[in-house]
Amino acid sequence: MLKINEAIKEDLALATDIVRFDHVTKRYPGKVALRDATFTLPRGKVIGLIGPNGSGKSTVLKLMAGLLRASGGTVAINGKPATRRIGGEVAYLSELDALYSSFTIEETIRLHQGLYEDFNQEKAHEMLAFMQLNPGDRVKNLSKGNRGRLKIVLALSRRAALILMDEPLSGLDPIVRESIIKGMISFIDLETQTVIMTTHEVAEIEPVLDLVVAIRDGQVLKVEEIDNIRGELNMSLVEWMKQTLA
Amino acid sequence: MKAWLTLLKKEFLLTRSSLLWKLLFLVIAGLLGVYFAYRNNDRPGLIVVLAVMVVAFYVFYLAAYMFKSLREEWEHTSHSWLNTPQPGWMLLSAKLAGGFINLLALFGVTCCFTLWITWIELNNFARPGFQNIDLAWATINYYGWYIAVLIVLGSIYTGLWSMMISVGMAASKSILSKGRFFVGLAIFLIPTWGMGFFQGTVVYDRLVRWGAVYLPQTPIVELRNLHFHSLYTGEILFYAIIMAALLFISGWLLDHKVEV
Amino acid sequence: MGEEFNSTQPIYHQLVQRVCRQIVGGVLRAGEKLPSVRDFAVRNSVNPNTVQRAYAELERLAVVESRRGLGTFVTEDAARLDELREQLKDNQITAFVLDMKEMGFSSEEIMEGVEEHLAEDK
């Protein structure tokens, strides 16, 4: 009887958890980027991954995106192991400018349309209008802010179950950041999607988050609900962050 | 299929403007070559030799193309390029196909100009001693096709090895922090030194010398006695298998060992 | 509606308060339709889940009611609205008095100060 219950629990967990890290370690020659990380993340939430520079946030995200492979332990996305080809179910917004600069915005959208089955071209054009981007512009001629906006459009035009964003707001001015945040809220579908983002703009992003994961020096310290932080612990996210990451 | 075509379109779009500039350059260089060939009265065949050298270089075109194209991806767009559900061999073969289109265009133009220059030089240096322009022209036209096909196939071959080296080096990045160059070098030695060595062995002989292919008899009676390297099916199969293996090994490495 | 949130209360709670103030203040009238969850979320730059929670809480307080397929509407129950008005007034005054008392003012001083201020206001 106990065994059946465990199996059902396991199934339920798989059904509700979009991400599962099981004793994940990531080693590079001469450095350990992530140490024995074990946690699960639920679906349908906006999750913030916060921590100082070099703490391993990008590593965690890239492990989820299949761009890195764990040295030890397993990474499961949607119940499946994260391989390089998990890109069919995971949208990844890189911190780097990983766009093909000679393409126009329209050409970039058509490229994504052709590669991803879950790409919604109408939504993409809707978002372009929202962000006030001109499809005929060439990527290399876009301002930094507009490139940031385009990256969000590409990520959110996909119906992927998991959307990963690595520093989507970094280096952008407040107006652009606001439009990206509003764009995110407008176009995300939390009934079918989960968003995980790393960011330094903790105070700005707090109202948008459901859950926060604190990481420092390659170790995942805590996974906490925003409501608990304010409700029970009575502090803002910034204060909690200072306390947890001290 | 749609995905592969999308990838091919992307590869082509990436190099389209560069291709146009290169074609323009070739046309200008070609016309200059034609001009100098007309005016060449003292050194027979000089321009032709230069033109043929350029033609021969194309056997390395795809090697250079693949190396450059992959380097652009590693350095700038790796996160986009690899965050897709398509398998590695599809990503790489689309890249090669894009290069192939470039190759055909550039090689085609170069060959046309070379033929034109050859015709001019042949006519310029027609002398009582030099028997038959028509014979020479027919020979060139006849064997030229075989040589052109060989160069194109050779280019694909070198392109695949270049791809193997690039992907091999990228794959070893997660294991070695330095010394990736030596990995590349080691892979480079296989088709060069390694193949040369292997092809001298008895094993190779037994493996490959079967199914002789008979090329259609040349219509040029005078050449029927000339004996070129005979072509064996075994040899063709040998190279075909190597090329397929290169694509699939690189694809596998891209899917399982490369990290960005 | 781009005001910042204070850092001590859960955000959904502050959203509830905002809506209540808008109702009492007449910005939102009885029976008026509230913005959709998503619109509200975008306008305030908050997570739609948070808005969902706020709307649920407002419904629990009987300040709003949701009608299937149509949206969420301010209640038309005049008694409830009056009650809400009284509640907000009460909360404000209680907080104010507590604050003043903490600073050491006496009840008389507080009364005086308020009357003076209101007299000037006219």
Cβ <8 Å between B83 and A66: yes
Q: Directed axis angle between helix B2-39 and helix A105-115, to 10°?
A: 130
Closest by Cβ to C42, choosing from A186, A210, A230: A186
The alpha-carbon gap from C44 to the nearest alpha carbon of chain A, in Å, equals: 9
At B186, which helix (H) or strand (E)? helix B180-189
Is A185's CB within 8 Å of C8's CB?
no
CB contact under 8 A, A98 and B77: yes
pLDDT digits (tens, 9 = 90+) for B108-129: 999 999 999 888 887 777 665 5
pLDDT surpasses 90 at B231: no
Is the pTM higher than 0.90? The answer reads no
Each residue's pLDDT tens digit, B63-88: 999 999 999 999 999 999 999 999 99
The percent of residues above 70 in pLDDT, for chain B, comes to 91
The domain tally of chain A equals: 1
Q: Encoding tokens for residue B11?
A: 């590869």
Provide the shortest C-alpha distance from residue A219 to chain B (in Å).
21
Mean pLDDT of A114-137: 95
Strand A194-198: give its sheet, edge to edge.
Answer: A90-93, A162-166, A194-198, A46-50, A211-216, A219-225
Question: Searching chain A, which residue's CA lies closest to the CA of residue C42?
Answer: A182
Does residue B130 surpass a pLDDT of 70? Answer: no
The two three-digit tokens of residue A219, written as one number: 């170790």
Is B217 a residue whose pLDDT tops 70? no
Q: pLDDT value at position A11?
A: 66
For chain A, list residues whose CB is within 8 angstroms of any CB belonging to chain C. Answer: 44-46, 178, 181-182, 185-186, 188, 190, 206-210, 226-227, 230-231, 234-236, 238-239
Cβ density class C63-91: b for 16+ within 10 Å, e for less = bbeeeeeeebbbbeeeeebeebeeebeee
Greater model confidence, A172 or B207: A172
The pLDDT, as a whole number, for residue B4 is 96
Q: Distance (Å, rounded) from C-alpha B189 to C-alpha B200?
A: 16
Q: Residue B250's CB: how many other CB atoms inside 10 A?
A: 28
Task: Say which CATH number the domain at A83 has.
Answer: 3.40.50.300
**Confidence label for A14 from pLDDT (cuts 50, 70 and 90):** low
Q: What ipTM was predicted for this assembly?
A: 0.89
- The answer to whether the CB of A50 falls within 8 A of the CB of A241 is yes
Mean pLDDT of chain B: 87
Domain span at residue A110 reads 2-245
Measure the CA–CA gap between A93 and A153, rounded to whole angstroms: 10
B18/A contact by beta carbon, under 8 A: no
What are the sequence ranges of the domains in chain B? 2-256
For range A59-80, the mean pLDDT:
94
Measure in Å the smallest separation between the Cα of C63 and chain A Cα atoms. 22
Contact A114 B6 (CB under 8 A): yes
Q: Read off the pLDDT of each residue in C23-46 and give the average, rounded to a whole number.
A: 91
DSSP state of B177: S
Whether the predicted pLDDT of B99 surpasses 90? yes
What dihedral do alpha carbons B52, B57, B58, B60 form, nearest 10°? Answer: 160
Neighbours of chain C (3+ CB pairs under 8 A): A
Max mean pLDDT range (A12-26, B170-184, C46-60)? C46-60
Judge whether residue C1 has pLDDT over 60. Answer: no
**Confidence band of C109 (pLDDT split at 50, 70, 90):** very high
pLDDT at residue A2, as a whole number: 65
Asked if B78 and A98 come within 8 Å (Cβ–Cβ), the reply is: yes
Per-range mean pLDDT, top range of A26-40, B150-164, B233-247, C18-32 = B150-164
